[in-house]
């Protein structure tokens, strides 16, 4: 019976005529190569739609990989009701089990709706002064660091900065103590900073074990530590909120933070309001998610941008020229959000790095029921995955995809018209797209503007070309990003 079941699973795609990789080859590539590289190799070999019968991440569940824009649009947007949830990483009672990435259906809709207001245009404007203060602190930390050594691991530096911004904007607490920030950054960096473990592989193969044995896919010790940190921030934020509310004149000037939104909201699941203990779990679990997601994705993106600017100094200079021109035109250096967003070349460089080095190398959705995608049959709980890295390096979608060329994202470039929104997905798309994308982009731009105003970045003997990645992790985060940082002998003309 078991052999028949295995045979039925392993022939699932061949019976439908869907291209797929052999069992042995499939397992080998997953255990020996980073996720994004293995996906790209298979995508190049089998095409834009192929099945996976057995792999490190998928185990015995059939997984469909799609690179066709039509299918991508269906999964993420048009037929979202068929694919409403993520892969199972947590059980609801576990740490982060009530976070947006783990919540499903009605619970997810309720919490998503509440948290969306955190990233409104008005709230982002109130967050900007906090981001500016954290950026000024970063500039000073970098100045002290290069007095010790001009070669700096920008991944570590950007990690501490991202945590500072997160504490300020999401939790309403200004820049954390420097030593504390570095301690937290070091621990959080280890969340994805290693090869995937055998235990994690087994749990991804058999996700029912997560619930029945209360086992964690990710490191329990790190999640426990983060929970304690978020709990302290939560308690401190509540205290600051009560002090702020005592002065009515200050209330409007303070941005809504994540704790306030969920703490004050009426969270109803199936028309039943949650009790205070359950609501607090929602707050803590989503706080842990914000720390993990906010740290790793934003910090890695920032460090990769610096990496590319060091390798391609001509693009670094073009951003500097664009900044200097704007400063002279405005006769000031304090930029509004609208003025920051007007920096076309800066924006193009950011997009090109997101294309060339997508931090999340594949976007996944899980079938909520037996269904079809086009003519392809899918089983309930089957995964549909969009291999972003492979798609971003497909010459059919991007001319000379292995060439770093920000001009492809400029409005006056003819190739701009050929970039299909359904294939360039730095923050995914549809109802489950990244909720913090607007804050992330603002944080990245403010940071880069300040860094390039004060410093120049270049390649060092310790700069790894190509970058070195861990095997099997769902986030493409390089082990380190070391470059030479030197102060500009003359700051940009500042009016």
Numbered residues of the known binding site = 434
DSSP H or E stretch at residue 273: strand 272-273
CA angle 289, 293, 294 (to 5 degrees): 110
The DSSP annotation for 210-221 comes to: HHHTT--SS-HH
Query: Can you point out the beta strands (E) in 61-200?
Result: 63-66, 151-153
Which residues line the annotated binding site for heme?
434
Rounded Cα distance, 488 and 456, in Å: 6
Beta-strand pair 151-153/268-269: unpaired
CA angle 28, 31, 34 (to 5 degrees): 115
Respond yes or no on whether the N-terminal peptide bond of residue 276 is cis (omega within 30° of 0): no
CA dihedral 186, 188, 192, 195 (to 10 degrees): 50
Contacts of residue 13, Cβ cutoff 8 Å, sequence gap at least 6: 19, 20, 50, 51, 52, 53, 62
Rounded Cα distance, 263 and 233, in Å: 13
CA angle 455, 461, 464 (to 5 degrees): 90
Cβ-count burial of 219 within 10 angstroms (0-12 exposed, 13-18 middle, 19+ buried)? middle
């Amino acid at each position: 019976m078991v052999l028949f079941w295995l045979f039925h699973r392993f022939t699932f795609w061949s019976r439908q005529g869907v291209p797929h990789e052999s069992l042995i080859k499939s397992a080998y590539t997953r255990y020996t190569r980073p996720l994004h590289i293995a996906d790209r190799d298979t995508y190049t070999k089998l095409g834009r739609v192929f099945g996976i019968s057995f792999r490190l991440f998928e185990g015995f569940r059939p997984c469909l990989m799609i690179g066709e824009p039509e299918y991508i649009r269906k999964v993420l947007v048009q037929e979202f009701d068929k694919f409403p949830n993520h892969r199972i990483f947590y059980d609801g009672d576990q740490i982060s089990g009530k976070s947006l990435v783990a919540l499903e259906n009605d619970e997810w809709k309720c919490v998503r709706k509440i948290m969306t207001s955190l990233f409104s245009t008005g709230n982002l404007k109130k967050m900007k002064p906090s981001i500016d203060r954290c950026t000024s602190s970063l500039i000073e930390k970098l100045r002290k660091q290069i007095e010790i050594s001009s070669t700096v691991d920008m991944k570590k530096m950007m990690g501490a900065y991202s945590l500072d911004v997160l504490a300020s904007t999401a939790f309403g607490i200004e820049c954390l103590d420097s030593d504390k920030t570095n301690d937290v950054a070091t621990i959080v960096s280890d969340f994805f900073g290693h090869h995937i473990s055998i235990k994690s592989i087994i749990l991804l193969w058999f996700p029912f074990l997560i619930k029945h044995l209360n086992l964690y896919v990710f490191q329990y010790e790190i999640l426990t530590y983060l929970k304690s940190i978020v709990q302290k921030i939560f308690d401190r934020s509540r205290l600051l909120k009560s002090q702020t509310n005592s002065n009515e004149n200050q209330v409007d000037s303070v941005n809504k933070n994540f704790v306030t939104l969920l703490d004050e909201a009426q969270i109803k699941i199936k028309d039943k309001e949650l009790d205070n203990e359950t609501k607090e779990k929602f707050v803590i679990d989503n706080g842990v998610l914000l720390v993990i997601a906010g740290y790793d994705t934003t910090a890695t993106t920032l460090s990769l941008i610096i990496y590319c600017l060091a390798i391609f100094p001509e693009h670094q200079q073009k951003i500097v020229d664009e900044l200097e021109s704007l400063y002279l035109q405005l006769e000031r250096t304090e930029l509004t959000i609208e003025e920051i967003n007007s920096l076309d070349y800066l924006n193009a460089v950011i997009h090109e790095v997101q294309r060339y080095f997508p931090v999340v190398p594949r976007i996944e959705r899980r079938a909520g029921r037996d269904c079809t995608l086009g003519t392809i049959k899918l089983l309930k709980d089957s995964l549909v995955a969009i291999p972003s890295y492979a798609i971003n390096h497909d010459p059919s979608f991007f001319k000379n995809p292995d060439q770093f060329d920000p001009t492809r994202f400029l409005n006056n470039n003819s190739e701009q018209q050929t970039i299909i929104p359904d294939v360039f997905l730095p923050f995914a798309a549809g109802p489950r797209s990244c909720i913090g994308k607007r804050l992330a982009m603002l944080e990245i731009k403010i940071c880069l503007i300040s860094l390039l105003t004060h410093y120049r970045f270049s390649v060092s003997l310790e700069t790894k070309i190509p970058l070195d990645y861990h095997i099997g992790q769902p986030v493409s985060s390089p082990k380190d990003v070391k470059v030479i940082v030197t102060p500009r002998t003359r700051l940009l003309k500042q009016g």
